[in-house]
Structure 1
């Protein structure tokens, strides 16, 4: 059996223990512990451990359920999320997609609230990186809905950071700034004990702020933000992200013409071998080539461009933009040295590699190819071939026009994306407002005045008959019930355990204060339901229980109410409220004869059904009412079945 108290906590100690352990379940657990940190701090070692973990999870599949029950972890989920996060940090989005989806499937099939929040926040970032902004917004909305019920400054900071990057894609820089500043405030406050992942998000937040300043043309502020990101990575050894922040700062310095200072950051990347990231190392070499070119050191520039090209070509899917950029940079070096013929040959060699045709829409490629034809025009003019120079200048004009047309199309797409984002936000605000209004109406209608009046009247009766002990007992129960009612209305979800207890207390008070002990009831839960973990919408069933009392059992000296909760698929419960009252037909007849109740309708149940419709995208009959009859046809009561969407009220593990 795995004794978690005996497991070492520090990475170095865990590594030492790991080296002495044979393959087995405890090894799986130790690797899982290390991956949570190494994905951000030691990416090379994380890749080695991921390979080991993949094999261990296969070899010891039979032992995993018992191990996961002991530790509260889902090792397959953690493995896929760690792999996806590692690939994503290196901008390997295609490689990250499959493990992200695997982790998402696991979380939605069997994960708890912590798993779902973690993968939703991570997957939002992944979808944003792929440009799938609407789907990213959907997952971000899911995060915020869960965070309304399960507040966490740590998770809210991460969600705000992702939201900031989503706004960057919509070119909504003021809104992006607000979100990044929200994340920064939460991550620098006193409410969170920062993990390596939180420090990673802090660095992302600063990079996002830097990007906002870049787009606003405020270079000094952008540099300051990138420096904060680098400082955080260096102080907390976040090696996986550090090279990319150094690249961001170096590129910003290059754009400002500060080539010597930019070189120091690119050289730092090379000095650390980019912590194992071939893509970051290649980008550093390429940018060093640019710096040395502008500093007039042609040989050095050529050397580093060669190194960058070798690394890019060794990639499984070489980035043609980067390869084309290196080829054209070589041509500029040759032109600067007056080697016009060699420059022409270099450009003609690079143009086919750029693979630009009439369908190409990437403005980076169009801009580079346009510049290439301009260089060809200049080079041919310098060799005296003016006809070729004229021809290439005409081609340059065509590509330059395509480039600007594509920029115009992108601007139109940006405006359209901004409009859709604003429209979506307004729709969400309207839905939240409607939900808030329904909750307020539900609070007002929650406790029927008849119940309040009869309960207080019964307590007063106990007092007037000098039964002080009984009066005190039920006054305390009544006060507790009222306090819970007010407290729960501030929460979107409560645990199934809390709902069961509330209904039990509510029925117990009715039993003694309204029915003089003659009401019997049961509140039961199916054995498969984890009542302390499952969360359901706040006080969702009380209006139906109250209906059973007010309508079904009203005026009866005794009665019975049965409340049962059953599983209904993966995401819903079936709650059944059954009474042995007079039935709906008789109730209608009684109401027709009572002028005070002829227009009565249950506001609580009406509001509750509207709440259920807002809480799920499913189009279904949330409430079904069945009239019950004895064999002789006499009314035997009413049964109400309520289908309730549920979440997890509490995480099975802490978020990291």
Structure 2
């Protein structure tokens, strides 16, 4: 909100402006970086002026404006790889999020900070924050934030050179961002472009240049379509560099020129990189004067930075020397190399392999230049110095590889621990569900016994009570086992139906439990009592109120890891059941507890997200209800023979 000169805005207008600026920054940090910097300055001034009154405003709007300010500033600096400038706002955002932020606030900050740590090469710290994100996402599921987390995870795997895992994470992020489950914000489009750039890097490092170019083009197209001006120059630089590696200097120039034409949308480092790469291209296109001019522009920008990039400055100086050497201007080349070496600021403590490599090459060029001019002594001395730095370079590469392998090992170890913890949690949940299953089954069965005793003679009731006791013993024995054999499941269902046949239907209930001949029932394991709730449902609801009925239970092969069980009854159908429940206030919203528990068990037993249970209403030619069919897809496990009989 801009006021005419001399007009003083009211406090309410300033409060309104604080909220408007926050909303604009959500967009401008990614689309209009120059304007975002101006707005951030304005937001800082407003927050400082109205510090005491902000809690009331934040309560009304639900936004923490200090958190938003620091996170916006950190993201803006991080996008331009100004790591030192991004550090302070990230620390402030982390402190606020952990002191008073909710789960969503923490996820946003942690995910942004993970990217910052990855850029700094702090792999283990980045992994720790990603672990925090994964734990938070379990209690705050979000496709949007899961996509952002997958993208960050992909870049972390890139640092480990784990390209297959990185690819899987980038594809996961891409799927979520293209899934249509939420409307994409500028930040989401930004992550989409990062995902494509990450895929481009994988293809680039795998030598698949065409695929790398296609991925970088995809990232550029998304930025141009949405107007992500903050990120666009960096994607254009990535594509240009990939084209350079393929010797396509003229085409690469077009992308560097695009960066220059846009003035890199306010990113001085991206602009300097574009000029430096243009100089490199013109050098290879044998246009030394143009190459030198662009190198001058790049150096001027780098030197104007508060924290100049020594690697880039040294690189420019050494590139100038190669231009002079190509022109056989050996004395000038020697002078240029000697002038550029101090810029690199390399000493015995330097560990940056890029600087060590450049300095080694510089001494090699000095050796060649002195040899050409006949100064063999200097040539020999510089070649010895080249050997020294070249050896240090390779040693440092070995150290970095060892560190990367160690970090990768620790990351794999942490992932394994997380998998074990999740497995343990799943096992505990399954035990809890089985513990709920047993009293539920016992309650319903005892109700049937009570009804039978009150209406039939004692001798018959005693006989069936003994059979019931055996069934209870079986169910209690199975309670401590996650899986039983298909043979044991078949026998348990048969015994259960047999008891119900006499307890509930005076012998008028018929049933069949059958297995496909391809199923090896003594080897195949199924989750304990997994089908009993659906058989019970068929009796309790499907055949409800009928003097007789029939239930079919069939098992079929499905695939290597699953079988298909089908429970069919010839009862009254679900429509009629709902009508009956509608007239019974105590059962108006009833849903079988047993089937609810079983569906939860099936979800926990597999990582697959699919339909595990399908219920089909059966009708005759005249649309009369013929019963209900339930199809259950059951995960299976190979069972070893149990030693010492069924009670071992």
Q: Within 2, Cα distance between the matches of 1:477 and 1:121?
A: 42
Residue 104 of structure 1: how far off its partner (Å): 1.7
Q: Who is 1:232 aligned against? A: 222
Aligned CA RMSD, in angstroms, stands at: 3.0
Partner Cα distance (1:460, 1:224) in 2: 73
| Contact 1:321 1:364 (8 Å CA) reproduced | yes
Give per-residue Cα distances to partners, 1:288-327, cap 9 Å, x unaligned.
Answer: 1111111111111111111111111111111111111011
Tell me the equivalent position of 2:291.
301
Identify the residue that residue 557 of structure 1 maps to in structure 2: none
Q: Could you say which residue in structure 1 is the equivalent of 2:191?
A: 201
The alignment status of 1:255 with 2:237, answered yes or no, reads no
Question: Quick one: distance in 2 between partners of 1:186 and 1:20?
Answer: 47
Q: Does 1:84 align with 2:68?
A: no
Within-5 A mapping of 1:90-129: 90-129=80-119
Give the aligned partner of residue 315 of structure 2.
Answer: 325
Deviates more, 1:441-450 or 1:204-213: 441-450
Higher relative contact order (CA 8 A, sep 6+): 1
SS at structure 2 position matched to 1:171: coil
2: distance between equivalents of 1:255 and 1:194?
34
Structure 1 counterpart of 2:163 = 173
Distance in 1 separating the partners of 2:38 and 2:78: 17
Conserved 8 A contact 1:459-1:471: no
Q: 1:275 to 1:17 in 2, by over 3 A?
A: farther
CA distance in 2, matches of 1:50, 1:485: 52
Helix, strand or coil at the partner of 2:347: coil
Equivalent residue, structure 1, for 2:481: none
Would the aligned equivalents of 1:149 and 1:491 in 2 still touch at CA under 8 Å?
Answer: no
Q: How far apart in 1 are the matches of 2:38 and 2:603?
A: 44
**1:162 maps to what in 2?**
152
Q: Which range is displaced more, 407-416 or 281-290? A: 407-416
1:131 to 121, 124, 146: 121
CA distance, structure 2, for counterparts of residue 168 and residue 27 of structure 1? 42
Q: How big is the shift at 1:409? A: 2.1
Q: How does 1:611-622 map to 2 (within 5 A)?
A: none
Give yes or no for contact 2:440–2:594 (8 Å, CA) kept in 1.
no
2:272 corresponds to which of 279, 282, 285? 282
Higher alpha-carbon deviation: 71-80 or 25-34: 71-80
Stretches of structure 1 lacking an aligned partner (at least 5 in a row):
1-13, 493-656
Shift of 1:477: 7.3
Match of 1:425 among 415, 422, 426: 415
Q: Please tell me whether the aligned partners of residues 459 and 475 of structure 1 are also in contact (alpha carbons under 8 angstroms).
A: no
Q: What is the Cα deviation at residue 178 of structure 1? A: 0.8
The whole-number CA distance in structure 2 between the counterparts of 1:365 and 1:80 is: 33
Matches within 5 A, 1:181-200: 181-200=171-190
> 1:233-259 CA deviation, whole Å, 9 max, x = no partner?
001100000000011111111111111
Structure 2 vs 1, CA of residues 459 and 198 (structure 1 numbering), >3 Å: closer, same or farther?
farther
Q: Deviations over 1:531-567 (max 9, x none)?
A: xxxxxxxxxxxxxxxxxxxxxxxxxxxxxxxxxxxxx
Report what 1:63 is aligned to: 53
Contact 2:186 2:228 in 1 (8 A): yes
Partner residue, 2:558: none
Match of 1:29 in 2: 19
Q: How do 1:257-406 and structure 2 match up within 5 A?
A: 257-406=247-396
Structure 1 residues 451 and 256: alpha-carbon distance in aligned structure 2, compared to 1, 3 A threshold: closer
How does 1:565-604 map onto structure 2 within 5 Å? none
Alignment pair present for 1:445 and 2:452: no
1:484 deviation in Å?
A: 7.6
Change (3 A) 1:30 1:488: farther
Using the alignment, how far apart are the partners of 1:62 and 1:481 within structure 2? 53
Answer yes or no: is the 8 Å Cα contact 1:25–1:63 preserved in 2. Answer: no
Which has more radius of gyration?
2
Aligned partner of residue 443 in structure 2, secondary structure: helix
1:575-631 deviations in Å (ceiling 9; x for gaps) = xxxxxxxxxxxxxxxxxxxxxxxxxxxxxxxxxxxxxxxxxxxxxxxxxxxxxxxxx
Contact 2:130 2:149 in 1 (8 A): yes
SS of 2:52's equivalent in the other structure is helix
* Residues 415-454 of structure 1: CA deviation (Å, up to 9, x unaligned): 2222222211111111110011011112222477299739
1:343 Cα deviation from its structure 2 partner: 0.8
Task: Say which is worse superposed, 109-118 or 475-484, in terms of deviation.
Answer: 475-484
Give matches, 1:554-573, under 5 Å: none
Secondary structure of the corresponding residue to residue 24 of structure 1: helix
27-36 or 254-263: which moved more? 254-263
Q: Distance in 1 between matches of 2:595 and 2:52?
A: 48
Aligned-residue offset at 1:16: 9.9
Q: How many residue pairs align between the two structures?
A: 475
C-alpha change, 1:448 and 1:473, in structure 2 (3 Å) is farther
- Distance in 2 (CA, whole Å) between partners of 1:156 and 1:420 is 23
Query: Which position in structure 2 is the counterpart of 1:223?
Result: 213
* Distance change (3 Å), C-alpha of 1:55 and 1:456: farther
In 2, distance between residues paired with 1:249 and 1:392? 36
Q: Residues 27 and 383 (structure 1 numbering): CA distance in 2 closer, same or farther, change over 3 Å?
A: same
For residues 495-550 of structure 1, give each alpha carbon's deviation from its aligned partner in whole angstroms, at most 9, with x where no partner exists: xxxxxxxxxxxxxxxxxxxxxxxxxxxxxxxxxxxxxxxxxxxxxxxxxxxxxxxx
Task: Verify the 8 A CA contact 1:328 1:350 in the aligned structure 2.
Answer: yes
Compared CA separation, residues 460 and 64, structure 1 to 2 (3 A): farther
Residue 132 (structure 2) aligns with: 142
Q: 2:581–2:588: 8 Å Cα contact kept in structure 1?
A: no
Whole-Å separation in 2 of the counterparts to 1:417 and 1:190? 36
1:582 corresponds to which residue? none
Is 1:211 matched up with 2:201? yes
Contact 2:154 2:170 in 1 (8 A): yes
Aligned-partner Cα distance in 2 for 1:326–1:167:
31
Offset of residue 95 of structure 1: 1.3
